A and B are shown apart, each in its own frame.
Chain A
Amino acid sequence: KAGVTQTPRYLIKTRGQQVTLSCSPISGHRSVSWYQQTPGQGLQFLFEYFSETQRNKGNFPGRFSGRQFSNSRSEMNVSTLELGDSALYLCASSIGTGATNEKLFFGSGTQLSVL
C-alpha cells in the first residue's frame, strides 16, 4: 500500500507570490490534515479536511487555505507569501472515523523556501 505522497518535495518562491502544495492520502483514507513545521514554532496544525469539508482549523491567517477533492486528495494554498512562511509543510492522512485512537500517517513533506 502506498504511503502519503506529497508534491513537490522542494519549492522556492519569492515574497508576495502564492504557492499550492499537493497531498495524496493513503488509499481508503478520507481525512487529510496539514501541519507546518519551523525551527522556532515546531509542528503546528493548520487544518483538517474530511469528505471535502474543512473539519477543523488551527490558528493561522486566512492566507493559508486548503481544499479536498472527491478522491480525498488535498491541496493547500498560501497566498502573498512572507519570509516567515518558509517551512516544512506536512500532510497526514487517516481513515477519518473520528475515533480517538485513530492513527495519523505523515508524508515526507514539502520544503518551502521563501526568498
Chain B
Amino acid sequence: DAKTTQPPSMDCAEGRAANLPCNHSTISGNEYVYWYRQIHSQGPQYIIHGLKNNETNEMASLIITEDRKSSTLILPHATLRDTAVYYCIVRVYTGNQFYFGTGTSLTVIP
C-alpha cells in the first residue's frame, strides 16, 4: 500500500524553482524517502533519496521535516525537460518492493 500523499498536478514556470510536496505521516524510523520521475512511456528515473537529513545532488534537493512526516523535492531551475510525473516513495523494506502511489504530474510552462 502506498504510504505517501502527493498533489495530483502542479505547474511551474520555466527557470523557476519547482517545489513538490509529499506527505508520509506514517513513516517509520528506518524507512527512506525516495523520489523518482517518469517521462511518458519511459522507465522511472531515480532522482534522490534521504532518511533524516536534507540531501542535494546534481538533479535536485530533498528537504525532510524534522518529524519526518513530510518532505519536499526541489528542482532549483525547472526546464521544459523536467515535465514528468514525480513519485515520492517510502521504502518499506521487503526486498525491492517500491509502492509508487499516483505521483504528481509536473508541467513546466515556457
* A→B interface (CB under 8 Å): 4, 31, 33, 42-45, 48, 50, 55-56, 58, 88, 90, 92, 94, 98, 100-109, 111
Contacts and interface: CB of A to CB of B under 8 A. Distances in A.
A98 B96 CA distance: 8
A109 B51 contact: no
Interface of B: 30-32, 34, 36, 41-46, 49, 51, 87, 91, 93-103
Contacts, number: 63
Query: Which of B41, B97, B101 has the largest count of A CB atoms less than 10 A from its CB?
Result: B97
A58 B98 contact: no
Nearest to B91: A100
A38 to B, nearest CB: 12
A42 B100 contact: yes
Interface of A is mostly: strand
A90 B87 CA distance: 15
The 3 closest A-B pairs by CB, nearest first: A56-B95, A106-B43, A43-B100
B46 A42 contact: no
Nearest to A54: B95
Contacts of B91: 100
Nearest to A94: B96
12 contacts: A42-B103, A45-B99, A48-B96, A56-B94, A56-B96, A88-B41, A90-B43, A98-B95, A100-B30, A100-B31, A103-B49, A109-B41
A44 B87 CA distance: 13
